[in-house]
Structure formats: C-alpha cells, structure tokens
Structure 1
Amino acid sequence: MTTARHSWLQRISAIASLDDDNRRVLFAYVRGAADAVGRDEAARALGIPRSTASFHLDRLVKDGVLQVEFRKSSDKAGPGSGRPAKLYRPAMDEVGASVPERQYDLAGDLMATAITRSLKGELPVRDALLDVAGRKGQEAGRPGDFLGALADLGYEPMADDAGGYRLLNCPFHRLSQDHEEVVCAMNGAFLKGAATASGLSADNVLPEPGPGHCCARIGSLEPGPKT
C-alpha cells in the first residue's frame, strides 16, 4: 500500500469514483484484504456478478484508487491456471480531499518531526520546526516553475497590482486560526525553502498577515543567488 502524496485532482477524482455503492464496497474489501484481490474472489465475497466486479474494479484503477498487478493466483486451478492473474490492491491507503485544498497531513508531519528532533536535544522546538519546514519546502520546490509548485500545494497564487503574487489559500487554515504565530512561521520557512529550490531568492517570500488569504505573499519571481 503506497503512502505517496497524491495531487488534489487525484484525490477529488478518487472521491468522485467512490460515489457508487459497488465501488465503495469493493474498495473497502480490497483495502481490508491481506493480499491483492482477484475479480473472482471479490465477486464471490460481495455476492455480485463477476462482470460487475470487473467493471467497477477497473473503474477504480482508472480513477487512481486501486492499482493492478499480474501474477499467478492460488485462486485458480485447471487449464489456463498457469497464466498470470489480474489482481487489485489499494493505490491509496485513505481517500480525502477538501475544497479549497488543505495540507494538514503535511503540517502534522512537520510538527511531529520537529518535536522528535527537539526531544533528542538537537534544537529548541521552534528552531527545529523552522529547519524541518525549510528542508521540506526544498523538496517541494520546482526549478523554473515556483508558481506551479505553489498551485499544486494548494496556495492558489494570483498576480497582484504590486508586481508579485498573493496566495489566495492557506493550506494550513484551521491550524493558523488558533496557532497563528507558530503556523505562519512554519509556513514562511516552508515557502522560502520551496523558493530557493525553485531557483528564486528566499527574500521574495514576504509576510502578509490578514484574513482571507495566506499569511505570506510572493514579492516577485526574481532568481536567487547562484550557488
């Protein structure tokens, strides 16, 4: 079962795919199985025709909820049993999305990693959080396409009249309501890391507190110093 991060559009598509009773039950069955599941096994377990199981399993694959593998299955015997069987396993361990996009899993990962480092005595927890967020932001950067990276993360960058970009969405919105100082500092460090990894100056990430948008804005897309 993969733990890779899926794009917002992939997650929206997955939720739309599960707006069907058969597909929801099939996903639950495959997700709870100890191993990859064949069409015959799924059909028998759920008491539905094989053709119905096959159709919905393949639709779940198309929508990114399941993935396929081919190998010999102990479920088959007799002529043709030596051929690899088409088996299904989860492509996502859970399916969730929000509109607008939020990144609470990312925030939790950053904070947990920072606390772990602090408990080991490496850094005070705030310093650890800023360091962890900056490093994670560097992983999210995209050389030559900072705005594309921001859009994929859910920031919704929009050109403003000052020649920069306002970030219309805060991916950490609910957390920032009760923990503004901590979350906005973490967010700023993350954005600066993403900016530098994208080839820009970290100084282009500017604070912009206020309701209805992210607590930071992008001053320009001016390249950072070469290293």
Structure 2
Amino acid sequence: MGLDDASLTALAVLGDELRRRMFDVIRREHRPLTREEVAARVGVSRKLAAFHLDKLVAAGLLRAHYASPSGIRKVGRRPKVYEPVDAAIEVSVPERRFQLLADLLTDAVLRAGPGESAHDAAVRVAGEHGESVGAAERARIRPGRLGPERGLTLALDTLDRLGFEPERATPTLVRLRNCPFHPLAAKAPELVCDLNRAFLAGYLRGLGSDATDAVLAPVPGRCCVELRARPTADGSNGA
C-alpha cells in the first residue's frame, strides 16, 4: 500500500500551474472567495476558474458552499464560495510517520507519572498506543488464539499501512525494510528505537499474537525492529 493515494491525487491536481496559483490565492486570503474573485485575481474567465476550482474541490484541497462572502444577505441565490480545507498535504518516499512520533512524545509528556522519566513514559505510552491499534484490528477480524505464522500474516497489512514496508523473510520472521521515524531515529536511536519496539510489541499484544515478539535487531538501511516467532518449549519456532 505505502503512499497515501489522497495526497498523491492532490499533488497531481496541483501539477497544473493555474490551479496552484488559484489554490495559493485562496489559501492566503483567509476568507472564502467567489469564482469571480478568484478569476479576477489570476486573470482568467469565470468559466475557466470554475472548472479548475471544482477540480481542486474534487481533490480534497478546497471546500465549496453557498454563502455571501460579505456576510450581508442579498436577494437571489447566494454565490458559491471556496476556502481551503484544514488538512495538510504530506507525501514522503519512503513513507515517514512523524505525526505518530510527535503524538506519542506529546502524550508521554502529558501523562508521565510521578517519578517516571521522560524516556520511560514515552516507551509506556508507545506500548499502550500500539496495543490499542492491535486491539482494534483484532476486533475487526475476530480471530481466536494466534499462532506465530498467523500472527505475522495479520500484522503485514497493518505494518504496510503504517509505512514499515514489511518483508516476510521466513514463515516466522518479518523484517521491516523502512523506518517510518527516520531520520529522527538516527539522531536519537536509543529513544526512537525503544519507542518503535514498544509500539510494535504493544500492537502484537493487542492483536492477541502472544507467540510473536518485537525484537530489536538494528541493521543499516532497515527498521531497527524485527517480528519473530517465539521459540516453543522444544526450541523450535512452532506453528
């Protein structure tokens, strides 16, 4: 899965220079603008402006509604106005999840217990967040007890959506080819890798995969965590 299709579509729509200018005009105005106002600002006809504005709406970059931009009610149909949506456009190759990391660190600061270090609070919060993600996935698919191979199989789609680019190296080993938190992981590897492992371990707990471990296994060019089947009593990686 990987890249966000909505963001890629938005970027493709903004590939047109005229649409970029119109989008910039509306974004900088800080108020809704009519088609006529936008057309006058960029020097095109109202009909052409309407065509491109509707393309920007369809791409999720603008929203449109009918209202008087001056706030004064007038006789007849109110003009259609356009304004930017709140969401930002983010595309990264390979995929990064800085917002997730920022949310975990912010939550850790707000929820740190008495005497708990910042590092320990962040690791705890990361594990709790991962567990909630895994529990939600388990509720959706409603599995019974998961053996290691089944647990790893179910983890693949979620980890792909999160940008880890999972690779099933063996039936009982998943390597993560991308670190969604790079290059921050390179700046503070102990903190970020511990958060990463705690998040993934929590995810496996929430999923109900009690036969699979998230293990720190740093390798250059890959995520620092691997998912491995837990050895059985006879020392093998069982089913």
Structure-2-length-normalised TM-score? 0.74
Relative distance call for 1:201 and 1:48 in structure 2 (3 A) is farther
> Where does the alignment leave 5 or more consecutive residues of structure 1 unmatched?
1-6, 222-227
Q: C-alpha deviations, 1:113-144, integer Å up to 9, x for none?
A: 323444x8462101110122123324444234
Question: Do the aligned partners of residues 202 and 95 (structure 1) sit closer, same or farther apart at CA in structure 2, a change above 3 Å counting?
Answer: farther
Q: Which residue in 2 is equivalent to 1:97? A: 91
TM-score (norm 1): 0.78
Structure 1 residue 208 displacement after superposition? 2.0
- Relative contact order (C-alpha < 8 Å, sep 6+): which is higher? 2
Partner of 2:56: 60
Q: Identity, % of aligned pairs?
A: 35
Letter of the aligned partner of 2:221 in structure 1?
A: G
Match for residue 35 of structure 1? 31
C-alpha contact 2:67 2:81 (8 A) present in aligned 1: no
Q: In the superposition, relative to structure 1, how do residues 88 and 132 fare at CA in structure 2: closer, same or farther (>3 Å)? A: farther
Aligned to 1:136: 129
In structure 2, relative to structure 1, the CA distance for the partners of 1:45 and 1:9 (3 Å cut) is: same
**Residue 171 (structure 1) aligned with residue 180 (structure 2):** yes
- Report the RMSD for the aligned CA atoms in angstroms: 2.8
Letter in 1 for 2:163: G
Taking the aligned partners of 2:22 and 2:229, their CA distance within structure 1 comes to 48
Residue in 2 that maps onto 1:148: 157
Equivalent position of 1:182 in the other structure: 191
Kindly indicate whether residue 122 of structure 2 is the aligned counterpart of residue 113 of structure 1. no
- Residues 166 and 175, structure 2, Cα contact 8 Å, conserved in 1: yes
Q: 1:126 aligns with which of 114, 119, 122?
A: 119
Match of 1:19 in 2: 15
Q: Is the 8 A contact 2:211 2:229 kept in 1?
A: no
| Separation (CA, whole Å) in 1 of partners of 2:21 and 2:162 | 30
TM-aligned CA distance change 1:122 to 1:31, over 3 Å: farther
- Structure 2 segments unaligned to the other structure (5+ residues): 142-153, 231-239
2:225 to 216, 219, 223: 216
**Could you tell which deviates more after superposition, 15-24 or 190-199?**
190-199
Post-superposition offset of 1:174: 0.5
The structure with more radius of gyration: 2
Aligned-partner Cα distance in 1 for 2:86–2:16: 17
Structure 1 counterpart of 2:213: 204
